[in-house]
């Protein structure tokens, strides 16, 4: 039995005006376990807290009930007061007699009665409280960034600049990501490569950053502060230490028919290749699917030509195991498949392209060397139609229900660039809404219309029909004129919806990070914790969390870095002691609890138990208190009651129920 | 011709669509082969229902110009199905005239030599449920 | 006022710490009243509510039990209320099946911003329980005197 | 010897119930058990064996012992009132009456259980002879004569008439109080019925079960027998056998918090349960084999050792009928004798 | 049956299995008991007939702890239970050699006796090999008969089908004995008024003697220590007749097995008071199927039970107001 002290606060007249505080003290003093009860004007004041300290000392209290305002207001205050007085902070319970009593009830008898009942419930609970101590876990001062696009690079740079080691894992042969494919950026129209490549170089050169390209995360275990990750370094068949990046191998390679991933398959590449000229590292990889040597055993030209002797056909995949304190997911996006959008004739005509493909067409390093031309016949287009919201804001299963956010702006950019460079080309944009929130965004769009004469049509395109003459007949509606428009275009550009990278679901599973139905990772709080995953130690950077443009991505990447740095700066983590705990004598090892745990905090171990003389090895649930956030989902999933939540135990809650219902 | 249930509600009920889902993209009108024949355009059907102005929709030319090709239904990104809405409006007229559907025996005598095959097909499509 | 013999139901409200308890606090600070018959038990999440707690409340004489949590999708622990939703649906269906009046149990999603909804919900729930009268089908007779 | 037509039994029950509580077999939702008589009760005298034995009329499944309340900061203890009015149990079978004799040995010997003693002192038992014994019956093995229930009043149901014969003073008094409904008759029909039923008993498959080797003196030998390790295996550790048994008398004492005080009550317990005789240090029988062995050793060895050779089994056969794993005392006894044969 | 014994002997003799879990011949025609056989000779007492209703899958929890494999005989419906136990890591697949035994519906002696048959001495027609539709029953009170169908367990009338969901080999033919609507009784209760429902369950549950047979036989109730026996939860209960605790016990028990119960019907088979306990479990199964989509517990090992799963589109608990009693 505890020795409980009850402290009833007047809160000036906030409580005392509607609750007979003296009466509460009198009634509660007679409760079993209560050895001290008093009231005071303001319990949260220094003098009030002092009263608690004195009572703890004089009455040898082991538990404290404060009848006051909401625990959300002052629970922490009174816990600290208890700790200073020498008792465990978790031996404190609050009876909320202000927000839940005095402020909502007018009748004093009724309010007093309710205050007594709430106090009784708190007393009943404290009777079953046990001292709890926050756990500690160590922090490995190294971060992992998954994805080497602008989001990943920026996060890594910011973390590294703060003085912590960072590893970047990038799936493709080079870092750079989508931004490296983009020609110009809105709303300033500066060259994407010009602002990205210095960052890539900086990352590669940074002494705190290690880059694993052509690599994938294979396995993740552990928890916040102490993750262990296996990284698979895929065989490049080129020794990075020897390669000078001269490019001779690529020139000689006879296998030249593979569609270039970097150029969105608008042209081809060789079997041994670097995705683009500024690739980092500037070390080619061999695509074994395309390589004649790997397919037939004959060839070996690249090896012969390589003066550095870097080509090594015997290279094997390598697994690197590394420990991290925090993990940032920055896996980015891709455009959706247009296979279900037959009406836009994307698969029928090479002159119907996506906006990302247009970026490559417009880029000097792209398949047309930056000349705007039709991919079917190389002719310069005279009439270009842009179609917005292709697959975005779509409630059927062909597209995505969300707005892809970046399309309005890049379409304005494309339209403007074309009109600027080729004033004789007519540009028509079919739109549903033009969305331009952002600094200088709407001004940018208006310039496209006002200064560059881009023809914006409010309406959607119903179908694109390739004509025998090579033209594309675009049938759309102009809702403002209430007309149907038929337009012969030379080129159609689709603002295709973006979606998270296909691999993200696999990664989310490995990280036990929650993911929504659209495959975006869920943030811990939509407003207040937008760069953290609900899973402790996992952070989100870039489009993996939701559609974003470059400036937003960069700022979020920085924010994620700050969160990581904040975590790595700690030597030890204090963990919330109100975590779940399994009673090993009751546990069945059935996995029900692990199935409902949102944090992957529960694992199973074969444990030797001594059950009243019976010794046997049993599969027992083990809760990792560093991961557990204390929601209690597991406690209800557990049929035997083995799983219980410290601080909100089954017996504690039942005792509150009993106290209220008596 | 309004008794009991409000007509807009009837249209919603018969068509099984929710016009409020419309985001006014106009893809229905963009895709409609009978657009030029219509006085009220497919994308407008929705607002007539939303604004409870079914009476006018029922009186419109469009009611009988729609081919029920269902291109708008196929292409609508918001699952609003203007084709079903106009079909529902037609239903109101048919029901008002006392019938619900034609019976199979009635069809032959109604057949016109010059009636295009396409209309027959679309009629079947329209009335199959 | 204090002398009346009208039926005073016992009502237990389980509120999740992050949304509904905060919603109740907001109802308090906004002075939005609801009957004193409602007594709130704070739980970390609606998924912490074991059906056993609810039956225990009825056993010991409660006339109504209401569970409040974050709106689906807004759970502080991301998925807790989804589990709570299934569990409570099943439990309520079973209680209905054995002949307990449906109105005695309820789940309501109340966010931290919905002080008004909290108060309205409680007013409505208490009114419904008053209409239903005393809980005679679930209590333990030993607790009745 | 008296008799009463079956169709007049309702009046008889009503008459008894006017002055006394009456317990008799009542059918509820397809099952017949002893319950308090009410005008609406579906009385069922045809079912040979009620699911539970009627022992709970004298030793209820759960009964309150006392209640504690707090009054003005002082603890107030109110003992439960003892039964002080006569009541009648109608329709007990000979085996179940023998079961009461076993319970008497436990509860009426020093220290006397006052709750049980009060019920025994006030209870008037009207026995009903068996008419069609069933294959699971083996009362004969324990010397029970199912045609001659050793009650305060013995009755026989023969061709739609209940024959009534008082055997004790209590029985005489009860007979006196209902005499208006009875008519006097001779015993010849009863004698014929008895010999006919006895002939059937001889034919029952278990009637010749041998108890050889089971007595109070074989404790160590039987306790250590390896056979238990085999026999217990199908046992599910449920309490069906103990709860339907007319002689099982173990109980647990528990507290119930009513919110206004605490009720201390006792309820039947089963030696098959893992928490049976649980103590602070744990349980002294921690395997199901031990718990299983306990039940049969108690019935066939420990009890006779302490009660002049009396077994605490009366052969009612309820465990034979009801065990979910088809285990029972007969199989145990047979297993030991088969082993002896080898 | 002979084929089964021969095969079991063979597997025991060649060391594939260390023991056989089956049924041993009883001392009455209708009471074979679950048994472990460790020697070839002991298998002479092996029996498999219409009275072998007991679901042996739960015994595999203990058998999984023993050295060597256990040959276990599972009927089609038992195989669901085994799968469920496997899903919950309660049995070890590597420790089991599963013979899927044929089943043509199992008999319930209580049902046979309810037809007025007393003093049973011998029963003909219960053997698996028989195509008999009628049981010839020899009693002390003369020759009686009962149709096989009338003597069948309730669960066999709503048979889940003759397919074994997990096995190493199959011996014997099975028959789908389903001739009743599985949820008919649940629907009948659902259609009652709240007062009628309450009276129905009150009458049924008032018979409960808390013997725990339902719980202890249940393959889903495989907890090492039940919450109702545990001192940790403040929920321990024992034999409190006519109190709320019976209702609480049965509701919570049904809730704990909801989504895990394979509807094997053992609870109703063993209840000494004949309480139709399956009506609780089947209600949950019906609700789960209707609200969350068809789910068959134990049909597939490793599948995720509905109550440890969710979708963001799940129905709100208020759906009970629309579906439940009016």
pLDDT tens for A359-396 read: 999 999 999 999 999 999 999 999 999 999 999 999 88
Q: Are residues A453 and A396 in the same domain?
A: yes
Contact partners, residue B89, CB within 8 Å, separation at least 6: B11, B45, B54, B57, B58, B63
What is the structure's pLDDT at D8?
95
Q: Are residues A373 and A489 in the same domain?
A: yes
Q: What is the longest distance spanned by two Cα atoms in chain E?
A: 64
Dist. CA D283–CA A566, nearest whole Å: 53
Q: Does C70 touch chain A (CB under 8 A)?
A: no
Instruction: Give yes or no for residue A43 having a pLDDT over 50.
Output: yes
Q: Are residues A393 and A537 in the same domain?
A: no
How many domains is chain C partitioned into structurally? Answer: 1
State both tokens at E157: 């009338």
How sure is the predictor about E282, in pLDDT bands with cuts at 50, 70 and 90? very high
Instruction: Name the D residues in 161-200 with CB < 8 Å from any C CB.
Output: none
Mean pLDDT of C17-40: 94
Mean pLDDT of A236-255: 94
Q: Does E185 touch chain C (CB under 8 A)?
A: no
- Per residue, what are the HEC states of A267-300? CEECCEECCCCCCCCCCCEECCCCCHHHHHCCCC
State both tokens at C117: 């909804």
Chain D residue with minimum CA distance to C62: D259
- Kindly report the nearest CA distance between residue E253 and chain A, in angstroms: 9
Residues of A in contact with C119 (CB under 8 A): 104
Dist. CA A495–CA A336, nearest whole Å: 10
Chain D residue with minimum CA distance to C140: D258
Dist. CA D127–CA D149, nearest whole Å: 5
Nearest to D28 among E121, E207, E236 (CB): E207
Using alpha carbons, select from A572, A634, A646 the residue that is nearest to residue A603: A634
What is the structure's pLDDT at C1?
38
- Contact at CB, E233 and A641, closer than 8 angstroms: yes
The helix/strand/coil state of A471 is coil
How many domains is chain A partitioned into structurally? Answer: 5
Residues of A in contact with D282 (CB under 8 A): 612-613
How sure is the predictor about E20, in pLDDT bands with cuts at 50, 70 and 90? very high
Q: Domain range for residue A16?
A: 4-128
The helix/strand/coil state of C69 is strand
Whether A134 is covered by a domain: the verdict is no
- The interface pTM score, or ipTM, of the predicted complex is 0.84
Chain B residue with minimum CA distance to A460: B27
Nearest to D326 among E33, E141, E241 (CB): E33
**D9, burial (CB in 10 Å: exposed 0-12, middle 13-18, buried 19+):** middle
What are the residue boundaries of the structural domains of chain B, listed by start?
7-127
Percentage of residues of chain A with pLDDT beyond 90: 91
Dist. CA D105–CA D108, nearest whole Å: 6
Supply φ then ψ for residue E305, to 5 degrees: -65, 145
- Contact at CB, D282 and A30, closer than 8 angstroms: no
Best of A431, A462, A475 to disrupt the B interface (most B CBs within 10 Å) is A462
How many domains is chain E partitioned into structurally? Answer: 1
| Domain end marker among A128, A155, A183 | A128
How sure is the predictor about B123, in pLDDT bands with cuts at 50, 70 and 90? low
Q: Check which CATH number belongs to the domain holding C39 and give it.
A: 3.40.50
Phi-psi region of A393 (alpha: psi -120 to 50; beta: other; left: phi over 0): left
Which CATH number fits the domain B7-127, given the four candidates 3.40.1350, 2.115.10, 1.10.1060, 1.10.1760?
A: 1.10.1060
Q: Does A654 touch chain E (CB under 8 A)?
A: yes
- Contact at CB, A614 and D286, closer than 8 angstroms: yes
Instruction: Name the A residues in 508-547 with CB < 8 Å from any D CB.
Output: none
Please state whether the predicted TM-score (pTM) of the whole model is above 0.80.
no
DSSP per-residue letters across D244-281: H-SS---EEEEEEE-SSSEEEEEEE--TTSTTTT-BTT
What is the structure's pLDDT at D342?
46
Chain A residue with minimum CA distance to D287: A614
- Kindly report the nearest CA distance between residue A659 and chain D, in angstroms: 7
Instruction: Name the E residues in 165-184 with CB < 8 Å from any A CB.
Output: none
| Domain end marker among A510, A535, A568 | A568
Q: Are residues A399 and A464 in the same domain?
A: yes
Dist. CA E111–CA E126, nearest whole Å: 14
Best of A639, A650, A651, A653 to disrupt the E interface (most E CBs within 10 Å) is A639
Dist. CA A643–CA A649, nearest whole Å: 9
Q: Are residues A349 and A437 in the same domain?
A: yes
What is the structure's pLDDT at D70?
83
Mean pLDDT of A187-206: 94
DSSP per-residue letters across D55-67: GGGTS-SEEEEEE
- Kindly report the nearest CA distance between residue A395 and chain B, in angstroms: 5
Give pLDDT tens digits for E249-269: 999 999 999 999 999 999 999
Strands, E assignment, A558-613: 572-575, 580-582, 602-611
Using alpha carbons, select from A514, A572, A562, A623 the residue that is nearest to residue A225: A572
Give the count of Cβ contacts less than 8 A between chain A and B: 68
Dist. CA A649–CA A659, nearest whole Å: 15
- Contact at CB, E227 and A654, closer than 8 angstroms: no
Touch of C by E (3+ CB pairs closer than 8 Å): yes
Q: Does A477 touch chain B (CB under 8 A)?
A: yes
Q: Does D263 touch chain C (CB under 8 A)?
A: yes
Instruction: Name the E residues in 266-295 with CB < 8 Å from any D CB.
Output: 266, 269-270, 272-275
For chain A, give the mean pLDDT.
Answer: 94
Q: Does D256 touch chain C (CB under 8 A)?
A: yes
Neighbours of chain A (3+ CB pairs under 8 A): B, C, D, E
Residues of E in contact with D42 (CB under 8 A): none
What is the structure's pLDDT at B1?
44
Nearest to D240 among E139, E213, E236 (CB): E213
Residues of C in contact with D62 (CB under 8 A): none
Chain E residue with minimum CA distance to D257: E234
Give pLDDT tens digits for C121-137: 999 999 999 999 999 88
- Contact at CB, D287 and A658, closer than 8 angstroms: no
Contact partners, residue E62, CB within 8 Å, separation at least 6: none
Q: Does D62 touch chain C (CB under 8 A)?
A: no
Q: Are residues A392 and A470 in the same domain?
A: yes
Residue with the larger pLDDT of the pair A461 and A626: A461
Q: Do residues E269 and D324 touch, judged by C-beta distance below 8 A?
A: yes
- Kindly report the nearest CA distance between residue E100 and chain D, in angstroms: 20
Count of all residues that appear for chain C in the document: 145
Q: Domain range for residue E249?
A: 181-326
Q: Are residues A592 and A493 in the same domain?
A: no
Instruction: Give yes or no for residue B115 having a pLDDT over 80.
Output: no
Residues of E in contact with A517 (CB under 8 A): 312
Residue with the larger pLDDT of the pair A533 and E258: E258
Which mean pLDDT values do the consecutive 10-residue runs of chain D (342 residues) have? 95 96 95 95 95 96 92 87 96 97 96 96 97 95 95 96 96 96 94 96 94 91 94 94 96 88 92 86 84 96 95 96 94 90 48
Phi-psi region of E89 (alpha: psi -120 to 50; beta: other; left: phi over 0): left
Q: Do residues A372 and A379 touch, judged by C-beta distance below 8 A?
A: no
How sure is the predictor about A195, in pLDDT bands with cuts at 50, 70 and 90? very high
Q: Do residues D320 and E110 touch, judged by C-beta distance below 8 A?
A: no
Best of A104, A106, A643 to disrupt the C interface (most C CBs within 10 Å) is A104
Chain C residue with minimum CA distance to D69: C145
How sure is the predictor about C3, in pLDDT bands with cuts at 50, 70 and 90? very low
| Domain end marker among A461, A480, A499 | A499
**E310, burial (CB in 10 Å: exposed 0-12, middle 13-18, buried 19+):** buried
Which range (A232-246, A519-533, D36-50, D174-188) has the least confidence?
A519-533
Supply φ then ψ for residue A291, to 5 degrees: -70, 130
Q: Do residues A466 and A472 touch, judged by C-beta distance below 8 A?
A: yes
Nearest to E27 among D31, D48, D331 (CB): D331
Whether C93 is covered by a domain: the verdict is yes
What are the residue boundaries of the structural domains of chain D, listed by start?
2-203, 219-335
Touch of B by C (3+ CB pairs closer than 8 Å): no
Q: Domain range for residue C16?
A: 11-143
Nearest to A641 among E89, E222, E227 (CB): E227
Mean pLDDT of A28-44: 94
Residue with the larger pLDDT of the pair C24 and A517: C24
What is the structure's pLDDT at A25?
97
Nearest to E310 among C56, C82, C90 (CB): C82
Helices (H) and strands (E) in chain E — how many of each?
Answer: 12, 8
In the Cβ-directed half-sphere of A481, how many Cα atoms lie within 13 Å? 12
Mean pLDDT of A450-475: 95
Q: Does E89 touch chain A (CB under 8 A)?
A: yes
DSSP single-letter state for residue D342: -
- Kindly report the nearest CA distance between residue E196 and chain C, in angstroms: 7
CB neighbourhood size of A282 (10 A): 18
Whether E233 is covered by a domain: the verdict is yes
What is the structure's pLDDT at E132?
72
**E163, burial (CB in 10 Å: exposed 0-12, middle 13-18, buried 19+):** middle
């Amino acid at each position: 039995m505890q020795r409980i002290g009850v402290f009833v606060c007047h809160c000036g007249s906030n409580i005392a005006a509607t609750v007979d505080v003296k009466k509460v003290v009198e009634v509660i003093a007679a409760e079993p376990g209560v050895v001290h009860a008093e009231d005071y004007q303001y319990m949260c004041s220094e003098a009030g807290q002092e009263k608690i300290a004195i009572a703890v000392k004089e009455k040898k209290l082991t538990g404290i009930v404060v009848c006051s305002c909401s625990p959300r207001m002052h629970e922490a205050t009174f816990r600290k007061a208890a700790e200073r007085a020498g008792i465990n902070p978790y031996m404190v319970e609050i009876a909320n007699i202000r927000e839940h009593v005095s402020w909502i009830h007018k009748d004093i008898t009724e309010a007093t009665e309710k205050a007594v009942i709430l106090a009784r419930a708190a007393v009943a609970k404290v009777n079953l409280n046990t001292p709890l101590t926050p756990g500690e876990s160590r922090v490995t001062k190294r971060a992992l960034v998954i994805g080497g696009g602008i989001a990943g690079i920026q996060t890594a740079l910011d973390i590294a600049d703060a003085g912590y080691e960072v590893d970047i894992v990038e799936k493709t042969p080079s870092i750079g990501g989508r931004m490296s494919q983009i020609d110009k950026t809105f709303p300033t129209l500066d060259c994407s490569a010009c602002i990205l490549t210095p960052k890539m170089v900086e990352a590669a050169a940074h002494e705190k950053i290690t880059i694993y390209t052509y690599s994938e995360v294979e396995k993740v275990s552990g928890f916040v502060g102490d993750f262990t990750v296996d990284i698979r370094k895929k065989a490049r068949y080129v020794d990075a230490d020897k390669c000078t990046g001269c490019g001779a191998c690529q020139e000689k390679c006879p296998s030249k028919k593979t569609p270039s991933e970097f150029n969105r398959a608008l042209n081809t590449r060789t079997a041994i290749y670097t995705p683009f000229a500024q690739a980092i590292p500037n070390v080619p990889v061999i695509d074994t699917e395309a390589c004649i040597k790997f397919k037939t055993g004959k060839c070996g030209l690249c090896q012969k030509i390589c003066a550095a002797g870097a080509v090594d056909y015997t290279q094997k995949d390598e697994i690197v195991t590394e420990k991290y304190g925090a993990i940032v997911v920055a896996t980015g996006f891709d455009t959706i498949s247009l296979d279900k959008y037959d009406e836009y004739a994307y698969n029928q005509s090479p002159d119907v392209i996506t906006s990302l493909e247009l970026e490559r067409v417009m880029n000097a390093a792209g398949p047309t060397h930056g000349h705007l031309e039709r991919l079917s016949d190389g002719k310069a287009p005279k009439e270009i139609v842009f179609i917005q919201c292709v697959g975005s804001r779509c409630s059927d299963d062909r597209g995505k229900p969300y707005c892809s956010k970046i399309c309005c702006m890049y379409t304005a950019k494309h339209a403007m660039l074309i009109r600027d460079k080729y004033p004789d080309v007519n540009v028509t944009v079919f739109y549903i809404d033009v969305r331009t929130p952002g600094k200088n965004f709407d001004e940018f769009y208006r310039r496209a219309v006002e200064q560059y004469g881009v023809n914006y049509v409010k309406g959607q395109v119903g179908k694109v029909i390739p004509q025998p003459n090579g033209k594309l007949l675009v049938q759309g509606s102009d809702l403002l004129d209430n007309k149907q428009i038929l337009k012969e275009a030379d080129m159609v550009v689709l603002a295709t919806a973006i979606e998270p990278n296909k691999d993200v679901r696999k990664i989310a599973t490995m990280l036990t990070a929650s993911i929504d139905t659209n495959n975006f990772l869920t943030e811990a709080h939509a407003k207040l914790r937008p760069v953290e995953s609900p899973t402790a130690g996992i952070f989100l950077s870039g489009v993996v969390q939701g559609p974003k443009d470059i400036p937003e991505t960069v700022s979020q990447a920085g924010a994620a870095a700050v969160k990581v740095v904040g975590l790595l700066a700690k030597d030890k983590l204090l963990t919330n002691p109100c975590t779940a705990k399994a009673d090993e004598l009751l546990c069945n090892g059935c996995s029900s609890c692990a199935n409902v745990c949102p944090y992957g905090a529960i694992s199973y171990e074969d444990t030797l138990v001594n059950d009243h003389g019976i010794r046997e090895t049993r599969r027992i649930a083990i809760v990792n208190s560093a991961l557990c956030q204390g929601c209690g989902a597991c406690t209800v999933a557990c049929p035997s009651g083995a799983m219980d939540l410290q601080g909100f135990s089954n017996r504690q809650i039942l005792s509150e129920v009993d106290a209220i219902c008596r | 011709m309004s008794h009991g249930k409000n007509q807009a509600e009837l249209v919603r009920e018969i068509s099984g669509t929710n016009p409020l889902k419309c985001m006014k993209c106009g893809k229905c009108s963009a895709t409609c082969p009978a657009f030029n024949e219509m006085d009220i355009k497919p994308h407008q059907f929705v607002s007539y229902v939303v604004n409870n102005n079914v009476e006018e929709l029922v009186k419109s030319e469009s009611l009988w110009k729609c081919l029920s090709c269902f291109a708008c239904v196929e292409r609508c990104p918001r699952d609003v199905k203007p084709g079903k809405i106009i079909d529902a409006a037609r239903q109101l007229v048919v029901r008002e005239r006392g019938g619900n559907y034609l019976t199979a025996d009635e069809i032959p005598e109604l057949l016109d030599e010059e009636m295009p095959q396409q209309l027959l097909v679309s009629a079947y499509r329209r009335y199959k449920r | 006022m204090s002398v009346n013999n009208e039926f005073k139901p016992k009502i237990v409200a389980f509120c999740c710490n992050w949304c509904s308890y905060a919603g109740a606090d907001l109802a308090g600070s906004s002075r939005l009243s609801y009957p004193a018959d409602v007594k709130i038990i704070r739980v970390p999440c609606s998924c912490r509510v074991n059906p056993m707690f609810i039956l225990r409340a009825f056993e010991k004489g409660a006339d109504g039990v209401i569970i409040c949590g974050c709106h689906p999708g807004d759970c502080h622990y991301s998925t807790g209320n989804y589990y709570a939703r299934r569990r409570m649906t099943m439990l309520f269906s079973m209680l209905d099946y054995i002949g307990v009046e449906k109105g005695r149990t309820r789940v309501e999603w109340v966010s931290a911003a919905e002080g008004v909804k909290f108060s309205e919900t409680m007013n409505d729930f208490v009114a419904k329980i008053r209409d239903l009268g005393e809980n005679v089908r679930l209590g333990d007779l030993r607790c009745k005197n | 010897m008296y008799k009463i037509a079956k169709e007049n039994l309702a009046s008889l029950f009503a008459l008894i119930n006017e002055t006394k509580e009456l317990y008799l077999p009542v059918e509820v939702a397809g099952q017949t058990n002893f319950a308090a008589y009410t005008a609406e009760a579906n009385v069922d005298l045809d079912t040979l064996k009620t699911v539970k034995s009627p022992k709970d009329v004298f030793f209820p499944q759960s009964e309150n012992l006392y209640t504690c309340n707090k009054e003005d900061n002082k603890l107030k203890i109110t003992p439960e009132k003892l039964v002080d009015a006569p009541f009648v149990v109608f329709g007990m079978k000979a085996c179940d009456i023998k079961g009461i004799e076993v319970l008497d040995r436990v509860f009426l010997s020093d220290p006397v259980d006052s709750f049980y003693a009060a019920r025994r002192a006030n209870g008037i038992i009207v026995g009903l002879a068996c008419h069609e014994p069933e294959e699971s019956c083996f009362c004969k093995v324990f010397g029970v004569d199912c045609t001659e229930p050793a009650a305060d009043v013995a009755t026989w149901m023969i061709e739609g008439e209940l024959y009534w014969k008082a055997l004790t003073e209590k029985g005489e008094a009860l007979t006196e109080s209902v005499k208006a409904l009875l008519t006097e008759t001779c015993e010849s029909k009863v004698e014929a019925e008895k010999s006919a039923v006895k002939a059937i008993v001889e034919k029952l498959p278990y009637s010749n079960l041998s108890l050889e080797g089971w007595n109070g003196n074989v404790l160590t030998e039987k306790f250590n027998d390896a056979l238990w390790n085999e026999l217990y295996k199908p046992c599910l550790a449920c309490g069906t056998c103990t709860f339907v048994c007319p002689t099982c008398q173990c109980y647990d004492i528990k507290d119930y918090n009513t919110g206004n005080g605490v009720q201390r009550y006792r309820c039947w317990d089963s030696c098959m349960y893992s928490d049976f005789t649980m103590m602070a240090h744990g349980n002294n029988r921690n395997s199901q084999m031990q718990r299983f062995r306990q039940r049969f050793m108690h019935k066939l060895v420990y009890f006779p050792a302490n009660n002049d050779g009396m077994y605490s089994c009366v052969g009612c056969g309820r465990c034979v009928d009801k065990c979910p794993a088809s285990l029972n005392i007969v199989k145990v006894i047979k297993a030991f004798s088969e082993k002896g044969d080898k | 049956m002979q084929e089964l014994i021969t095969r079991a002997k063979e597997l025991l003799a060649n060391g594939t299995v260390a023991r056989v879990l089956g049924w041993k011949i009883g001392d009455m025609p209708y009471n074979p008991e679950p048994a472990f056989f460790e020697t070839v000779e002991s298998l002479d007492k092996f029996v498999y007939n219409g009275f072998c209703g007991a679901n042996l899958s739960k015994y595999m929890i203990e058998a999984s702890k023993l050295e060597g494999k256990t040959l276990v005989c599972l009927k089609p419906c038992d195989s669901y239970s085994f799968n469920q136990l496997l899903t919950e890591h309660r049995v070890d697949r590597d420790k089991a050699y599963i013979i899927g035994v044929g089943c043509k519906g199992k008999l319930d002696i209580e049902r046979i006796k309810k037809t007025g048959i007393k003093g049973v001495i011998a029963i003909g027609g219960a053997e698996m090999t028989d195509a008999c539709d009628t049981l010839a029953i020899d009693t002390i009170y003369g020759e009686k008969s009962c149709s096989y169908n009338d003597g069948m367990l309730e669960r066999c009338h709503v048979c889940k089908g003759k397919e074994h969901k997990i096995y190493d080999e199959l011996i014997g033919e099975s028959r789908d004995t389903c001739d009743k609507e599985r949820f008919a009784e649940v629907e009948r209760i659902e259609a009652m008024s709240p007062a009628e429902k309450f009276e129905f369950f009150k009458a049924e549950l008032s018979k409960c003697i808390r013997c725990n047979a339902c719980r202890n036989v249940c393959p889903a109730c495989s907890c090492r220590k039940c919450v109702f026996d545990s001192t940790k939860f403040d929920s321990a209960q024992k034999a409190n007749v006519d109190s709320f605790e019976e209702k609480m016990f049965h509701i919570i028990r049904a809730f704990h097995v909801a989504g895990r119960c394979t509807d094997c019907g053992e609870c109703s088979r063993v209840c000494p008071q004949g309480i139709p306990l399956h009506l609780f479990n089947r209600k949950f199964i019906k609700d789960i199927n209707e609200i969350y989509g068809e789910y068959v517990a134990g049909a597939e090992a490793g599948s995720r039970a509905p109550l440890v799963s969710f979708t963001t589109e799940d129905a709100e608990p208020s759906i009970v107001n629309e579906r439940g009693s009016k």
